[in-house]
Amino acid sequence: MLQENSYIHSDQNERTMVVTWKDEEIADIMDKVLSGRRLTREDGLRLYRSDDLFQIGYMANTVRSRMHGKNAYFVVNRHINPTNICVNRCKICAFAKSVGEDGAYLLSVDEILNMLRSGIHSPPFEVHIVGGLHPDIGIDYYTTLIRGIKEISPDIFVKALTAVEVDHIAKVSGMDVASVLTSLKDAGLDAMPGGGAEIFSRRCQMIGWEKKIEGDRWLDVMRIAHSLGIKSNATMLYGHFETNEERIDHILKLRSLQDDTGGFQAFIPLPFMPDNTSFEGMRGCRRCGGVDDLKTIAISRLMLDNFAHIKAYWIGLGIKTAQVSLSFGADDLDGTIVDEQIFHAAGARSDAGMKQDELIGFIEEAGFSPLERDGAYRILGYVKR
């Protein structure tokens, strides 16, 4: 006879097992997960309130396995930050500088193109371009840059400019967002990253990023991008001063837009790092731990039923937590990156980049099959060390 808090579960291979829940308060959510029913806001909050990390991870891994089996995706990519000069100077940011400040920089288009010509990777690979909101740099700089990249090789996948940057470029250039995005697409933009979303909470915005566009504006820019055929990612910055309710509301707004447009490729939960920000050393504001990281990834997988991919960004999580996250709902570890600056300015302890063989080895060590993709999740093949 089964205990009241036990559950008979059959996996993809029709193997039957008895699962015993520690937290009976969320056991009913498994029924929804197995039947493919959408979880509610209250379900998400109950998951966050629960301390049964393994039960939550088990449910998320059930969904992950249904969608991706034992595959774990990665991309050969390189991050480039054209400038760290930013008019917003958000309190949560350790990367931004003001014009004339020590360490402030703006790379020329030629400097960036020479970096890509240096032979770090052979195409196809992905270039990930994000930076600050420079007061004087508008659309011409970015269209020239993107065209130059495509001249190096049309096979380079250009993922560039967050919704925040696109909105700023439109203001500097005297254009509307749709015109900016059309110009970028015509120049060769392939997709957009998901950064700058932070938490869609006006309360949190007024504490940490007052000058940045509001959450609804971020969603509007992404809606326009998707309508033009530009795919994007989506992010959530967590672990600062937000509540669990604000986390779930953020996720639900993304889910709603995805219902409308289908334009999001992946969701990336990003842990806040306070070092070198206005919040460094502030009581109650510290880097969250692995339990919160894994729980947030798992809950994201469970709530975002219309997102194909959940990414464990190893730069922010650290490679060990990122490996474990592959069993907690994540299916993508991002990529080689080469020279990450934004998280490292805030105290990230991970390497700034990783060789392809190393990344493949970490995926295999975690018990998954490395699957190389491009920026559009087109599969380039299974790979081994």
Domain that holds residue 139: 71-382
The CATH code of the domain that includes 135 is 3.20.20.70
The mean pLDDT value for 123-148 works out to 93
Does a structural domain hold residue 376?
yes
Query: What digits encode the pLDDT tens for the residues 277-329?
Result: 888 777 666 678 899 999 999 999 999 999 999 999 888 899 999 999 999 99
Q: Kindly give the pairing relationship between strand 71-75 and strand 332-335.
A: parallel
The pLDDT confidence band at residue 271, using thresholds 50, 70 and 90, is: very high
Does a structural domain hold residue 372?
yes
Does a structural domain hold residue 3?
no
**86 carries a ligand binding annotation:** yes
In this predicted structure, what is the pLDDT of residue 345? 59
Does a structural domain hold residue 64?
no
Query: Residue 15: what residue type?
Result: R
Query: What digits encode the pLDDT tens for the residues 45-104?
Result: 999 999 999 999 999 999 999 999 999 999 988 889 999 999 999 998 888 899 999 999
β-pair partners for 268: 235
Does a structural domain hold residue 367?
yes
CA terminus-to-terminus distance, the chain? 47
Strands of the 191-192 sheet, one edge to the other: 77-80, 126-129, 157-160, 191-192, 231-238, 264-271, 309-310
The pLDDT confidence band at residue 119, using thresholds 50, 70 and 90, is: low
Does a structural domain hold residue 137?
yes
In this predicted structure, what is the pLDDT of residue 1? 42
Cα–Cα distance, 79 to 57 (Å, whole number)? 30
Q: Is the pTM of this model over 0.85?
A: yes
Q: Is 19 exposed, middle or buried (0-12, 13-18, 19+ CB in 10 A)?
A: middle
**93 carries a ligand binding annotation:** yes
Of 196, 289, 206, nearest to 241 (Cα)? 206
Following CA atoms 164, 167, 173, 178 in sequence, which dihedral angle do they give, to the nearest 10 degrees? 130
- The tally of domains found in the chain comes to 1
Higher-pLDDT residue of 28 and 15 is: 28
